[in-house]
Structure 1
Amino acid sequence: MLDVHVTEILVRLARAGARSTLQALHKAMTIDSRRVQALETLIAAHFREHRPVGFYAGKIGVSVAQLNRIARQEAGASVSHLLARRLVDAARRDLVFTPTPVQAIAYSLGFQDPAYFNRFFRRQTGTTPGTYRETERRRLAA
């Protein structure tokens, strides 16, 4: 009879431990999800300023390494990659839907040198801003 009670107590303890571990894991995932949402909001507000990753980590209240780990886990990319992606998305939109010269778009996105913007855009997309603009406008016109 004592064996039955000891077994029952051990089973209940194991279940309680597993439940608390799952709850802690769920809570951590929720916190990480909120941190990534906060990161995306900060990126949207500051991407034109070309802030370092440390700026975003400080605003969120974590270390740079921890923020990069969370970003890779939740968003599938590092913080610097998320920043570059946001810059390229804004550049693509401006190139296709505005008549603004490439040089002015570069300055509006916070680049000090339009030539560097051209290199950055080419590295990210595989094509120059001018070529991208022509190609996309032709595609949209067809």
Structure 2
Amino acid sequence: MIKKITGIQELYNFTGLKRTPIANHFDILTHEETYPDTLKMVAAHRRDFFSVIFLENQQSGEMHINQNTHASMNDILFFQSPQHVFSFIRGESMKGFLLFFTADFLLPYIKDIVAEYTFFSSVESNVFQLNKKEKEETTDLFKIILREQKNENLCKFLIAALLEKSKKIQEKYHTIEQAIPTEFQLVNTFKRLVSNHFIEHKSVAYYAEKLNLTANYLNDRIKVHTGKTAKEHITSRILLEAKNMLLYTDMDIAEISYTLQFNEPSYFGKFFKKHTQQTPKKFRDNQ
């Protein structure tokens, strides 16, 4: 099974950050506070809590979410829930905020976070680039939450206000997306699904079923609009994760193989060589 992070403290341990959260169900900090401890590359994982992250400057880092590599972007607001698989390569000197909270933290005010705020859903856009006004209003809320972090009751209302503000930003993005032809929306939804299930599910049939399509039809439509079949997209996402782990972690090849849920390291080696013409060891040694 893919690595599941069961609490905020476990996330810090997993990423190498030497920090104790404000509470078991809530924490807020700046990106600057994560240096120099956080690992260069954090492998794909799920979290059983929610994250709202603002990046003022991404620098040389990369986020891998929604089947896209987000790099060299500024003023980005993005959202994670237990539905998401997430990995990243940490950039140098990033600025911004990280906010973590469990579903229980917002009770009784918000009972179903994903239903109320769909940008936490794995099939919705959850990465937004902010304009100047949106950035100012959003960072003001983060700053107040940071300042009032010891007052849990107040922070609940402030987080709710941040989520409501984010819903308004999402509505703008929905207006833009509605103008996109249906088949391009299919491509985007497929990519989001792959990003959040590529480790556990490597067959086109799984994604076709999720989209109420046949595997052949999905392969055909994805290739028409992207130049690659659905299977090639799945393979590319697996390879991207494998290459990042080979380059930026000290995990041995067997560990990487099992993390990516190959039954045997030999199967992973054959898969990697088939698509890169190099063994995993040679790829790592040559970089």
Q: Report if TM-score (shorter chain) is over 0.5.
A: yes
Match of 2:243 in 1: 92
1:73 aligns with 2:224: yes
Q: Is the 8 A contact 2:246 2:280 kept in 1?
A: yes
State the alpha-carbon separation in 1 of the partners of residues 241 and 271 from structure 2: 13
State the alpha-carbon separation in 1 of the partners of residues 236 and 203 from structure 2: 15
Match of 2:196 in 1: 45
State the alpha-carbon separation in 1 of the partners of residues 277 and 250 from structure 2: 22
Q: Please give the TM-score of this superposition, normalised by the length of structure 2.
A: 0.37
Which of residues 115, 118, 123 is equivalent to 2:274? Answer: 123
Deviations 1:70-110 (A, max 9, x none): 11011111111111111111000000000000100010011
Shift of 1:63: 1.8
Match of 2:140 in 1: none
Shift of 1:61: 2.0
Q: Is the 8 A contact 1:47 1:87 kept in 2?
A: yes
Match of 2:183 in 1: 32
Shift of 1:113: 0.6
Q: Which structure's residues are more often strand, by fraction?
A: 2
Shift of 1:30: 1.0
State the alpha-carbon separation in 1 of the partners of residues 225 and 258 from structure 2: 31
In structure 2, give the amino acid aligned to 1:131: K
Structure 1 residue ranges (4+ consecutive) displaced by more than 6 angstroms after TM superposition: none
Give unmatched runs, 5+ long, in structure 2: 1-177
Deviations 1:15-54 (A, max 9, x none): xxxxxxxxxxxx9x71111111111111111110134212
Deviates more, 1:119-128 or 1:60-69: 60-69
Q: Is the 8 A contact 1:50 1:110 kept in 2?
A: no
In structure 1, give the amino acid aligned to 2:232: H
Match of 1:19 in 2: none
State the alpha-carbon separation in 1 of the partners of residues 262 and 201 from structure 2: 8
Q: SS at 1:49's partner residue?
A: coil
* Count of residues in correspondence between the two structures: 109
Match of 1:56 in 2: 207
Match of 1:108 in 2: 259
Q: CA RMSD in A?
A: 1.5
Q: Which structure's residues are more often helix, by fraction?
A: 1
In structure 1, give the amino acid aligned to 2:223: R
In structure 1, give the amino acid aligned to 2:262: F
State the alpha-carbon separation in 2 of the partners of residues 65 and 119 from structure 1: 25
Match of 1:9 in 2: none
Q: Please give the TM-score of this superposition, normalised by the length of structure 1.
A: 0.73
State the alpha-carbon separation in 2 of the partners of residues 47 and 103 from structure 1: 19
Deviates more, 1:77-86 or 1:87-96: 77-86
Q: Is the 8 A contact 2:202 2:234 kept in 1?
A: no
